[in-house]
Amino acid sequence: MHVFTSTILKSQNSKNLFPTFFVYLTLSSFFNVKMKEKQKNKLSRRAAQKVDNASTEELAAMTVNSLANELDVTPEHLSRTFTADYECHLKDYIEDAKMNKAEDLLKNTDLQVKEIAKRLDYSKPGYFSDVFKKHKGVSPKKYRENHNSQPEKEIQPPKEEESIWQIFKNKIIKYFQAKVHY
């Protein structure tokens, strides 16, 4: 950026000054945005990695306070930093991770909804269902019905049947028998 600054300072022609300054402002704001994206706070990245890589048991016990203790910072500092870098609250990020884990358990296990709620540290299955529905748009039960991969039915070999002519003959006989009785 110092190249642009020196160009602006050396420029004696006012016609060249505005375009050069405009380019300088545009590029500096572009690089600032890119640097901010690249330099997300290490603390925020570590917190996100811990949430993303947590097992079901770890995720169930995870709170902003427990995560802050693990990372040796105050919960307020961690929350403020995380929200600034990821533009969402850490509490919501943890809840999203829990709902993604619940989604996985609903798809890949036969556990009852109340058992999944218990595993993710929701003491009331009804509250768990409400949170799940808020995140996924359907209740856990409906989600499982819609996404449960049921095994395909076995294809049975065709049974030996009468020939088509025999079936046709039998239908004609039944038809005429019915007509004769009237």
60-119 pLDDT, tens digit per residue, is 999 999 999 999 999 999 999 999 988 899 999 999 999 999 999 999 999 999 999 999
Give CA–CA dist 124/10, Å, rounded.
71
For residue 103, give the amino acid letter.
E
pLDDT of residue 174: 79
**Does residue 126 surpass a pLDDT of 90?**
yes
Q: For the chain, what are the domain ranges?
A: 2-38, 42-147
Kindly tell me if the per-residue pLDDT of 40 is higher than 80: no
The pLDDT mean for the chain works out to: 79
- Provide the whole-model pTM: 0.60
pLDDT-based confidence at 151, cuts 50/70/90? Answer: very low
Q: What is the dihedral of CA 114, 62, 83, 105, to 10 degrees?
A: -40
136-154: average pLDDT: 77
Tell me which amino acid residue 174 is.
K
CATH (one of 1.20.5.510, 2.40.10.10, 3.40.800.10, 1.10.10.60) for 42-147: 1.10.10.60
pLDDT for the residue 162: 61
Residue 90 is encoded by which pair of tokens?
Answer: 């850490």
